Amino acid sequence: MPPNLLISGGHILDPSQGIDRVADLLITKGKITWLGDKGTAPSQSDLTTIDATGLVVCPGFVDLHCHLREPGFEDKETIATGTKAAAKGGFTTVCCMPNTNPPLDTQTSTDYVKKTAEIEGTVQVLPIGCITKGRQGKELTEMSELAKVGVIGFSDDGDTVASSRIMSLAMDYSHALGLPIIDHCEDKELSDGGFMNDGWVSARLGLKGIPKAAEEIVVARDLALAQLTGVRLHVAHVSTEGSVELIRRAKEKGIAVTAEVTPHHLTLTEERIMDSQPKKHNQLAYDTNAKVNPPLRTKEDIAALIKGLKDGTIDAIATDHAPHTSVDKMCEFGLAAFGISGLETALACLMGLVHSRQLDLKTLISKLTFEPARVISTRYGELGTLKPGCRADVTLFDPNKEWVVDSHDFASKGKNTPFDGCHFKGRVIVTLVAGKIVYRADS
Ligand code: DOR
């Protein structure tokens, strides 16, 4: 790592400090030390310079929700490959979900993830602990023990805690520990056996649908429980207009709730399952790469999700990177695994919203940096900012660079993307973690 690194002439966009201008950024020994007008940095001996002309320079992206699959599902992803994919996507911190095998419901498995990430990880990994043992929804984990090994919150992601009594107890403990509950909202009784959004497309394809109410029932219940317990509730992968409205009203009432939305729920509708996109790599007629939970919804939901981002109802964009093997996906629709490999396409597909003027660049970067960082306790360091003194986690991207997605080029083992073959405009060029270049695009 060069002791002094100057990132020169880039468009610095740091919503945490309200900075949006062409400037220089100086990094010394892994920390941001200075930010100011181009060509005016204090002189340094032994200086390396990156010319960032034409690039956006922003805090490294913070992903509140990804699946790194290790331990237990290393055929889908490992901490090494998942964090490489993160770096390629401009993410410098990723929070990993505990639906591994064994799950992250003990200090031992959680510590394994932390230690492996320290040795093999390319970016910072912050684990999320299970709410219940084995994610069975029956018995709480030793939440305070998990907090001691550094989980950033609790979730049974993939499953909902069906019992309101157990969820309310979990919220009491989580509140006492100062950590959020990260909530997978799905009434499994209602969604059970469903594969996609319940609507005209599911009717036409003859595939069992998952009604929007399956999500909204649990969002409503858990907002009520959050009000009761005072816990910080973070709603994961919001997908419906109704959920956005519930969260908006809860925020107005002063309930401590935050929420995230994924790039795919912001850009794809249920029609995508019928495979209207370019065919690549043996995609099936009903594209299992678009099978995800919660399912892709409708254009009205997308409009509500974007509105929610803009008015502050939705705080963060999180990938829900869910890598699977080709065996998991190259099968009939009903049998295929739910999930999208999302780390490496996130920025580019979101830049589509910017180029089409549905979202401004500042809001987008805020939702990828400083706002998700606020969901994570500052005991893990100040993230999502270029403030002097902070660790130099920095992403440089070209907002206008055109490219075509080819999943074979992914660093992730998960090639399961509905964006294969898509033409995108916007590409990560350099990612720095603690001042070290962890990814640099081929020129
Ligand atoms: O599509 C999904 N895949 N949704 C989830 O909630 C879990 C995830 C996975 O682990 O594959």
How many residues does this entry show for the chain? Answer: 443
| Distance between CA atoms of residues 141 and 134, nearest Å | 9
Please state the pTM of the whole predicted model.
0.97
CA 372 to ligand 1 centroid distance, Å: 20
Residue 335, CA atoms < 13 Å, CB-side half-sphere: 7
Q: Are residues 102 and 34 in the same domain?
A: no
pLDDT score at 129: 98
pLDDT single digits (tens) 108-132: 999 999 999 999 999 999 999 999 9
pLDDT single digits (tens) 262-314: 999 999 999 999 865 445 555 557 899 999 999 999 999 999 999 999 999 99
Which of residues 346, 375, 404 is at a domain's end?
375
pLDDT single digits (tens) 222-258: 999 999 999 999 999 999 999 999 999 999 999 999 9
Which of residues 375, 407, 424 is at a domain's end?
375
Q: Are residues 406 and 351 in the same domain?
A: no
Which of residues 375, 406, 429 is at a domain's end?
375
Pocket flag, ligand 1, residue 188 (CB < 6 Å): no
Residue whose CA is closest, atom 10 of ligand 1?
322
Query: Which residue type does 127 have?
Result: P
Q: Which two three-digit tokens encode residue 121?
A: 């990880």
Q: Is 157 a catalytic residue?
A: no
User: Is 384 inside a domain boundary?
Assistant: no
User: Is 143 inside a domain boundary?
Assistant: yes
Q: Are residues 416 and 429 in the same domain?
A: yes
Q: Are residues 430 and 316 in the same domain?
A: no
Q: Are residues 239 and 258 in the same domain?
A: yes
Q: Are residues 249 and 398 in the same domain?
A: no
User: Is 380 inside a domain boundary?
Assistant: no
Pocket flag, ligand 1, residue 292 (CB < 6 Å): yes
User: Is 381 inside a domain boundary?
Assistant: no
Strands (E), 219-368: 233-235, 257-261, 316-317
User: Is 19 inside a domain boundary?
Assistant: yes
Pocket flag, ligand 1, residue 339 (CB < 6 Å): yes
CA 260 to ligand 1 centroid distance, Å: 15
CATH of residue 84's domain is: 3.20.20.140
Residue 440, CA atoms < 13 Å, CB-side half-sphere: 5
Q: Which domain does 16 fall in, by range?
A: 4-56+392-440
How many distinct structural domains can be found in the chain? 2
29-50 exposure pattern, b = at least 16 Cβ within 10 A, e = fewer:
ebebbbbeeeeebeebeeeeeb
Please answer whether residues 352 and 425 qualify as being in contact, where contact means their C-beta atoms are separated by less than 8 angstroms. Answer: yes
